[in-house]
């Protein structure tokens, strides 16, 4: 299996499918791994692109480091992978926490290798409610997730899969297999990485990073997202990136790569090929 070794010795697992066409990196959400993007990676590779997806440190098959479970290190790990593969004309696609990783990468490393950006149900600009971010969610929401991670992480993931992540508690009828896959990927995440990543996705301020985005950007968000509400995430991110295009999926839940798979694949391909 392919790995890249980071500056601190962590090994980051990745898949690399397809050899022709422009490259696409797919960055996953918390507490999942690159398998969450497997269907999209296969679709893009079958349609002429090189599809690359990695397991963030602490997640899936990558090293479970004690330190580095925050956005700066995630972004630097991504830079290591991009440099290792010498990727250019690159499209970055990030779901949820993965969208934050990509925006922080652009803020820290620039867009010299990047052609386009896609944010799907992504956490920027800032999820946590603060004095200068009154639109955010109260800290109690994230403390509740931390409490579940600390006390019974298996049940936390079961509850997320059966409820708000896919909107199975609302209008979506999501298969047991899809929900089980979420649970299985989540349990493959290291306990410390999963716990610390809650702060990384909720309390990291990406507003300065978004201001530095200078590539064509597509923002896709469901208007019934119960994890990253549309008004907290997608709407504001699109407004902060000059020229960004916003696609709103009516009644869309958070887990769009599964609940709106065919539509999302078509929208990704159309944007990448445009």
Q: Which of 59, 76, 254, 258 is catalytic?
A: 254
pLDDT tens digits for 140-149? 999 999 999 9
Q: Which of 96, 121, 186, 202 is catalytic?
A: 96
Beta strand pairing status for 245-249 and 217-222?
parallel
pLDDT tens digits for 239-254? 999 999 999 999 999 9
- Tell me: pLDDT of 132 over 80: yes
The answer to whether residue 96 is catalytic is yes
Query: What are the beta bridge partners of residue 52?
Result: 16, 25
Is the pTM higher than 0.85? The answer reads yes
Q: Tell me what the pLDDT averaged over the chain comes to.
A: 97
Q: How confident is the model at residue 173 (pLDDT cuts 50, 70, 90)?
A: confident
The answer to whether residue 254 is catalytic is yes
Q: Which of 225, 237, 258, 267 is catalytic?
A: 225
The answer to whether residue 274 is catalytic is no
- Tell me: pLDDT of 1 over 70: no
Q: How confident is the model at residue 172 (pLDDT cuts 50, 70, 90)?
A: confident
């Amino acid at each position: 299996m392919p790995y890249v070794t980071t500056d601190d010795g962590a090994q980051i697992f990745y898949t690399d499918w397809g050899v022709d066409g422009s490259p696409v990196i797919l960055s996953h959400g918390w507490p999942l791994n690159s398998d969450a993007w497997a269907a999209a990676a296969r679709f893009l590779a079958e349609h002429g692109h090189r599809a690359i997806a990695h397991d963030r440190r602490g997640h899936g098959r990558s090293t479970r480091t004690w330190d580095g479970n925050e956005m700066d290190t995630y972004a630097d790990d991504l830079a290591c992978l991009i440099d290792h593969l010498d990727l250019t004309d690159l499209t970055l696609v990030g779901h949820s926490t993965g969208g934050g990783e990509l925006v922080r990468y652009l803020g820290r490393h620039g867009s010299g290798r990047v052609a386009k950006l896609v944010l799907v149900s992504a956490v920027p600009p800032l999820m946590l409610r603060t004095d200068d971010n009154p639109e955010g969610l109260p800290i109690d929401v994230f403390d509740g997730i931390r409490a579940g991670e600390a006390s019974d992480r298996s049940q936390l993931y079961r509850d997320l899969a059966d409820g708000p992540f896919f909107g199975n508690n609302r209008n979506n009828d999501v298969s047991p297999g899809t929900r089980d896959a979420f649970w299985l990927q989540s349990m493959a995440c290291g306990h410390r990485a999963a716990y610390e990543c809650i702060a990384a996705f909720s309390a990291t301020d990406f507003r300065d990073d978004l201001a530095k985005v200078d590539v064509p950007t597509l923002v896709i968000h469901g208007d019934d997202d119960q994890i990253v509400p549309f008004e907290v995430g997608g709407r504001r991110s699109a407004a902060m990136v000059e020229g960004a295009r916003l696609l709103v999926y009516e009644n869309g839940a958070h887990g769009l790569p599964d609940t709106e798979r065919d539509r999302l694949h078509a929208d990704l391909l159309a944007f990448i090929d445009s």
